[in-house]
Structure 1
Amino acid sequence: MDSGQRRRPSASPARLALLALANGLVLLVLARLLWPGDAAGRAPEAQPMAGAATAGAAHDATAVTHALPGARPVARPGDRPGGGLSSRDAAAERAGGAGASGELQALAPRLRAVIADALAEARAAARAAARPPAGEFTVALCVRQRAAGGGAPQTLAFSADRALAPASNMKLVTSAAALVALGPAWQFETPVELGGPVSAGTLHGDLILRAGADPFYTRPAPAADGADRAKRASGVNGAWASASQEGALAPHLAPLLAALRQRGIRRIAGDIVLDEGSFEAPGPAPGWPGEVQHVREYCALAAGFSANGGCLNASLRPGLPGGPATVSVQPAAHGLEQQIAVTTGALRSTLRVAVEARGGRVLVKGSLPADVSLWQARCAHPDPVALFGAALCGSLEEAGMALGGSWRRGSPPERGPPLVTLTSSLAACLVPINTDSNNAVAEQVLLALGRAREGVGSRAAGARACASILEQLGVSAAGFIQADGSGLSRNNRVSARQLVALLDAVMARGGTTAHEFRASLALAGRTGTLAQRMGSGPAAGRVRAKTGWIEGASALSGLVEMEDGRRRVFSILVSYPRIQGLNRRVWKPMQDEICGILAGEEEG
């Protein structure tokens, strides 16, 4: 105490006893209100998780939320200050966690222990960091299992109502909402019109295209799953012919080329006019990574027009050691200055190749080992509309069409005579979105959904449409925030309970909608972002899910298909201070272990 302060008089023993009695009564009343215990057949309060409490701090055992010692929790939209449970949350945790009935109740202690172990490891990593990060660790889990014979479903929940950043699990919302709102047979449409008369093989005017947000994207062959593909020499040289054409726009333009030939058009005297209509100009969403990352594939922009999902594909194969490597960039006509400087390194040398497009240039440089027969990577184009325009002109000229002008943005007020409508299916986008986690394709779908439902091709309109579909499916949109379609934004918020309710509602619809949605999810140990996870044990081949990660957020949500034909729907969301490597070392193994337990892994 400071020497200048007046010392308070000591309390009498009688007064202290009265104060203690009053405090005890208050605590008893609060305990009866918030934790009713065993009365009236209610489930008993969950026991604290082993190792969950730290010295000098009490942590709610069911919340599975831990603040770093001395750290200030980071406030986020939809979060409660301090990260504790409200009385409403506590009641929900009792009903869905320790109070879950049947099989899920039996699993609760094991799941809680797995989460507690992961939290302990994460907190130890935080303490060991040179600069301990501020923030809190939160693990949210929700599991729902429908009862046989159509009875009430069982639900198990830990912190399931916390609105957290879902990372790429936001793609589940985007894809499910589009499927339900538009239908699995819905197609992107890009109308093409003639802007003048046709005579003597010449279109005397412009060729006009109206935007439809089609990503014009073809998924690579399954062998190319992942961001990059590197193959050591093993007789795969025949793959070059197809690999070097991945990302080309020409295959999508076959109906247009056929229609031009049918009309006898060999020359377009005017320009190729791209009318973006109500679609917003391409740009990053609020909460996206900084500009330095905008060249990365995951930051590819969306717009009313795009090609190859707004990206450039680079395919490389080696030459003789010391000589140049062969490089293919698709779409080949991309409107940028191209600088290629890749040499062939010695056998078993280090692969160092950079691929980026910025400042009006696409640059591919580095060294490719002589025994890597094929290597591929993607980077974002600065402007998807410009990429589409350049690729369209290049494809037309390659097909023998003479162009009197170039491409340009424009909004011709009057409709010209229709020539053809380019189409592609929504269903074809679902696997790239949910199995491969392609951000740009998800963003294109969100724009298309916004235009179809709200009349405006913007992220905001798409988000309103998604929220409306959640309500239509009986999923509360409370606390739901959607800043983009892919989950790249840090501003997104959704709860594990909302994701489980959404997945359950979509699957309950049955028919083609449920079939397409289920088929779009990565399969544990087999495909997409789960190809290298849960490759053995009961989860292998029986967990279909969407992964998600951005710095500070990790997620896995999907379906566990039991051997007896029943299905468990689950969502695991993690929010944590940014500690390098924590997702790989802690959260992914935790998620995989949880899935193994849900899939029927025996204890011990």
Structure 2
Amino acid sequence: MSEKTGRRRGRGALAVLVVVVLAVVLAVTTDLALHRPPRPPVGPAGIAPPPGLDLPQARPAPAVVEAAPTAPVAPEAVRRALAGPLADPDLGRHVVASVAGLDGGPRWELGGTGPGRVAVPASTTKVVTAAAALLALDPEDTFTTRVVADGPGRVVLVGGGDPFLAAAPPADGEEAYPPVADVVDLARQSARALRADGVRSVRVGYDDTLFSGPAVSPRWPATYLPDVVTPIHALWVDQGVDGDGLRVADPPRSAADAYAAALRAEGIRVRGGPTPVTAPAASPDLASVESAPLAAVVEQVLRVSDNEGAEVLLRHVGLATGRPGSFDGGRAGVQEELAAAGVDLAAPSVLWDGSGLSRENRLDPGLLVDVLQLTASEDRPELRAVVTGLPVAGFDGSLADRFDTGDPRAPGRVRAKTGTLSNVFGLAGLAVGADGRPVAFALLADRIRLPRTSLALQAMDQAAAALAGCRCTR
């Protein structure tokens, strides 16, 4: 174990805001989880029990003791809180960790130095990708899918890298979040424009050229296809998954087929099948739809650990930094954006993708803490979607069914991105301790024995939960 001071001193943090956000989420998501409207402003003591039922005197929950606003994290207090959970043999022989206040200051770390300090991050990688996307782009930016006219009698569906483009709008009575664009809307707009020009029959082309390079990372095991991840494209519908839940062989062609079918339903004759083309740059638009804003995309990618969405974001980082929309272009863009923000993604840390699917990725947990501190900084409000997108322990996203062991104060007071591969578990996020002070943390274990998987998961949750019960400023 070692202690060292934070990497960036003097950075302001919205500590109070994070505490309030966690408290509000706890109050609201508890009701949502129970499928009932928000509670009226009355406590349990104000409601009489049913006749004949005697209840014992209720004990009030322990109050959170507020630390001084500038109280630093005490590494020795963190060590005491985490010593037991992180020493659990079920976590295996390689566990690394980092914990610090949101505004820098002293930092507690576990795992030595150099190459032994890095571990396979799994999906905690998405925190880095999401932050880089918000650094490279604007939180309100959207991704446009277009239909253009390409000469007499041909239209081209042009992919714009919308990770959530759908084959159809939500069914009646349903509402998607974040809001999604769909090709049925595109077909309706296209049909109106075509009829206005006196066109009743067209051929359909599709343009998937926005992204480049391999659609599948050479750093991914071949076994990931077709069951784990869809090859990454700038044009697809439903992330390349068909109505039976199976991944399609050619996502761009499948999207074009869905558009052509919707165009026929609008009364436009479609001659032949869709063909891949590159739309001329000067082609006039017939129709367009916009994705949800980037901030909402980031929140969803983090909340449900969306692998395909994260890889699309990686490519947009590449494009936004003047590089190809590819694995390599995105990786270089992420490194550039983080460096400009004061976070050094350098050896022995290395990322080969945006989702964390690669088992060749390596991250120092201190780098994850650096990124989390950055996203919580009052100087970087454009990064807030990373904080608000982190799943809430015991309530939503990839943490909805976890944290049923460990400190009972953890649900609602821990927000964290999960990381899960075979033999690997990780958590990276924020926790509000018993003294009311939030901390950023990253916990990674990458040599877990498969027979111990479920026990290791509990141990990892118990470690993060311990931070919710820690008076770590003492």
**TM-score normalised by the chain length of structure 1:** 0.60
Say whether the 8 Å CA contact 1:107–1:597 is kept in structure 2: no
Give a deviation string over 1:148-201, Cα, whole Å, max 9, x none. Answer: xxxx522111127522211111111111110121021111122321113xxxxx
Q: CA deviation at 1:442?
A: 1.1
**C-alpha displacement at 1:543, in angstroms?**
0.9
Cα distance, 1:545–1:415 mapped onto 2, change above 3 Å:
same
Cα separation, 2, equivalents of 1:217 and 1:564: 44
Partner of 2:229: 299
CA spacing shift, 1:520–1:539, aligned 2, 3 Å: same
Match of 1:571 in 2: 442
TM-fit CA distance, 1:141? 0.6
| Displacement of 1:521 | 1.0
Given that 1:169 and 1:548 are in contact with CA atoms closer than 8 Å, whether structure 2 keeps it comes out as yes
* Kept after mapping to 2: 8 A contact 1:268/1:402: yes
Partner of 1:114: 85
Aligned to 2:234, the other structure's residue is in SS state coil
Q: Residue 139 of structure 1 is aligned with which of 69, 76, 95?
A: 95
Query: Any unmatched runs of 5+ in structure 1?
Result: 1-61, 63-92, 124-136, 197-203, 220-238, 315-377
- Alignment correspondent of 1:205: 153
String of CA shifts for 1:97-152, please: whole Å, max 9, x gaps: 9xx97533223133123222x23x456xxxxxxxxxxxxx21011011146xxxx5
Tell me, yes or no, if the aligned pair for 1:269 and 1:403 is still in contact at 8 Å.
yes
Select the residue among 376, 390, 394 that pairs with 1:507: 376
* Contact persistence 1:473–1:502 (CA under 8 A): no
- Corresponding residue SS for 1:572: strand
CA displacement, residues 530-573 of structure 1 (integer Å, 9 cap, x when unaligned): 00112571111111111011123211101113466532100011
Query: Contact 1:193–1:415 at 8 Å: present in 2 too?
Result: no
Residue 487 in structure 1 maps to residue 340 in structure 2:
no
Counterpart of 2:14 in structure 1 is none
Distance 2:3 2:470 in 1: 25
Give SS of 1:299's match: coil
- Partners of 1:438 and 1:250 lie apart in 2 by 18
**Equivalent position of 1:333 in the other structure:** none
- Indicate conservation of the 8 Å contact 1:212/1:448, yes or no: no
- Structure number, greater radius of gyration: 1
Encode CA deviations 1:214-268: one digit per residue, 9 max, x unaligned: 123469xxxxxxxxxxxxxxxxxxx99778x99x998454255235314525856
For 2:249 and 2:214, how far apart are their aligned partners in 1? Answer: 9
Q: Percent identity?
A: 27
| Counterpart amino acid of residue 527 in structure 1 | D
> What is the aligned partner in structure 2 of residue 539 from structure 1?
410
For residues 279 and 91 of structure 2, the distance between their equivalents in structure 1, rounded to whole angstroms, comes to 58
After TM superposition, the structure 1 = structure 2 runs for residues 166-181 of structure 1, keeping only pairs within 5 Å, are 166-181=121-136
Q: How many residues align?
A: 399
State the match for 1:103 in structure 2: 74
Deviation at 1:472, TM superposition (A): 1.4
Q: Residues 180 and 484 from structure 1, CA distance in 2 versus in 1: closer, same or farther, beyond 3 angstroms?
A: same
The offset of 1:412, in angstroms, is 3.8
Q: Any conservation in 1 of the 2:202–2:269 contact (CA below 8 Å)?
A: no
Structure 1's 564 and 396: CA in aligned 2 closer, same or farther, altered over 3 A? farther
Which residue pairs with 1:394 in the alignment? 261
CA apart distance, 1:450? 1.4
Which consecutive residues of structure 2, in runs of 5 or more, have no partner in the other structure? 7-70
In 2 relative to 1, CA 288–205 (structure 1 residues): closer, same or farther, beyond 3 Å?
Answer: same
Change beyond 3 A, Cα 1:207–1:262: closer
Q: Which stretches of structure 1, 4 residues or more, deviate above 6 A after TM superposition?
A: 239-243
- Matching of residue 384 in structure 1 with residue 251 in structure 2: yes
Structure with more relative contact order (C-alpha pairs < 8 Å, separation 6 or more): 2
CA change 1:401–1:501 in 2 (3 A) is same
Counterpart in 2 of 1:68? none
Task: Determine the structure 2 residue equivalent to 1:466.
Answer: 334
CA change 1:553–1:430 in 2 (3 A) is same
CA change 1:94–1:172 in 2 (3 A) is: closer
- Corresponding residue for residue 188 of structure 1: 143
Q: Tell me, what secondary structure is at the counterpart of 1:187?
A: coil
Change (3 A) 1:426 1:218: farther
Any conservation in 1 of the 2:235–2:252 contact (CA below 8 Å)?
Answer: yes
1:362-416 deviation per Cα after TM superposition (whole angstroms, max 9, x unaligned): xxxxxxxxxxxxxxxx332222212211221122223333212321111244522
In structure 1, the residue matched to 2:272 is: 405
Q: Distance in 1 between matches of 2:442 and 2:246?
A: 31
Name the counterpart of 1:477. 345
Counterpart for residue 127 of structure 1: none
Query: Closer, same or farther in 2 for the Cα pair 1:553/1:217, shift >3 Å?
Result: farther
Q: Indicate the residue corresponding to 1:159 in structure 2.
A: 111
- The 3 A distance-change label for structure 1 pair 160 and 101 is farther
* 2:164 alignment counterpart: 216
1:529 CA displacement:
0.9
TM norm structure 2? 0.76
The alpha-carbon deviation at position 509 of structure 1 amounts to 4.5
Code of the aligned partner of 1:179: L
303-312 or 168-177: which moved more?
303-312
CA RMSD of aligned residues (A): 3.3
Per the alignment, residue 12 of structure 2 pairs with: none
Match of 1:591 among 457, 460, 474: 460
2:60 matched residue in structure 1: none
Whether the 8 Å CA contact 2:191–2:266 is kept in 1: the answer is no
Matched, 1:454 2:322: yes
**Structure (1/2) with the larger strand percentage:** 1
Q: SS of 2:301's equivalent?
A: helix
